[in-house]
Amino acid sequence: MPSDTLTIIDNRTGKQYEIPIQDGTIKAGDLRQIKANPGDFGLMTYDPAFMNTASCKSTITYIDGDAGILRYRGYPIDQLAEKASFLEVAYLILYGELPNQPQLDAWTYEITHHTFLHESTKQLMQAFRYDAHPMSMFISTVAALSTFYPEAKQVKNAAVREKQIHRLIAKVPTIAAFSYRHHKGLPYVYPDNDLSYTGNFLAMLDRMTQAKYQPDPVKERALDVLFILHADHEQNCGTNAMRAIGSSLVDPYSAMAGAAAALYGPLHGGANEEVLKMLTEIGHVKNIPAFIESVKKGERRLMGFGHRVYKNYDPRAKIIKRTADEVFAVTGSNPLLDIAVELERIALNDDYFISRKLYPNVDFYSGIIYQAMGFPVEFFPVLFAIPRTAGWLAQWVEMINDPDQKIARPRQIYLGYDERPFVPLADRK
């Protein structure tokens, strides 16, 4: 009868090893016993960019890239996007279950009553140059919050952790809105705790002289859906950064600033900006065939198609496409949407892209929606960071409570010089 082990024969020595298999994995440390001689360090795996290495065990997000499945705590993403609010989903991600009404009321109260920033934080943000990038302001301000809440260093204290979770989820929309207003040269708008999570965010962005700002319900709901879709996505670059930095037991503000910095990159949170650039470059539907041919020749890249995990249609992209129709019914159509729809149609029927499993991902339509809602492209990664805060914090808590986790420190393969003697300056060529 087969057992849950892997038999390895080292052809260098002829020795045989039995390695336990658990949850479809083997422990990398179990390979250390495989040595060519007693003085060996032992066998290691080499896996740049963690292409096939699990760094943790998690119960938060499940992805089946081949089948195009994304679930938070077992719930399909399409059901959550259709039926839940972002704060419900944030609660689910953090605590494992959807809240009942009393739990949701208490959770909403805690988030709503931590939205204000210390005035010194506001002064800090005002000190940035007039043209400072909103994401740079966001990252810096999140990191600075650790100076306002020094007790956050007590990461092993569950009650203290809970307080920081409330603060961060509540304050990131305020930080984001202040960075947006700063970028626009407008006065900062304080939170309105009578509004919903996304409604308050829109108010802080757009309010001018109104006595009471009322967000457009279609835009408010669209933003809520986009927040749900971006709340967590397993062990991506930003989440890996959150866990790696957090493994040193630093406070969550510092760890999250690092995660947001990872998100800032064009291969991560800035990908939807690249989609907009591509669609603008195409310019018109009639230019799509020529663009497709240039992609096949390797002259250009088809941005917004393909994903490191998904080898099928990204389930978030389907939801965003529906949301786009609702938003454009309010804002009016965008010429880029016509290009995107036709580009998608052609690519999905072309064997070149089908054979390479290049399907639209979440970035393909999200940038078009953000642009239609009036957001500048430089603000896109900030819009990504707000909802991802919930996922980062859930992953951080899971890491803190995992007895298997230690401070992150990957191994390396050293390919440099062996020992060599020091050469005096006068003798160097």
**Active-site residue, 268 included:** yes
**Active-site residue, 363 included:** yes
Q: What is the DSSP annotation of 232-288?
A: --SS-HHHHHHHHHHTTT--HHHHHHHHHHHHTSTTTTTHHHHHHHHHHHH-SGGGH
Q: How far apart are CA 193 and CA 109, in angstroms?
A: 9
Cα distances (angstroms) measured from residue 49 to each of 38, 54, 262: 30, 11, 14
Amino acid found at 238: G
Residue in 206, 224, 307, 314 annotated catalytic: 307
Residue in 30, 118, 268, 350 annotated catalytic: 268
Tokens 């990159």, residue located: 265
Residues 6+ apart with CB under 8 A from 191: 115, 116, 173, 174, 200, 203, 204
Tokens of 97: 């279950």
Provide φ and ψ at 218, rounded to 5°: -70, -45
Residues in the chain: 429
Radius of gyration from C-alpha coordinates of the chain? 24
Residues with catalytic function: 268, 307, 363
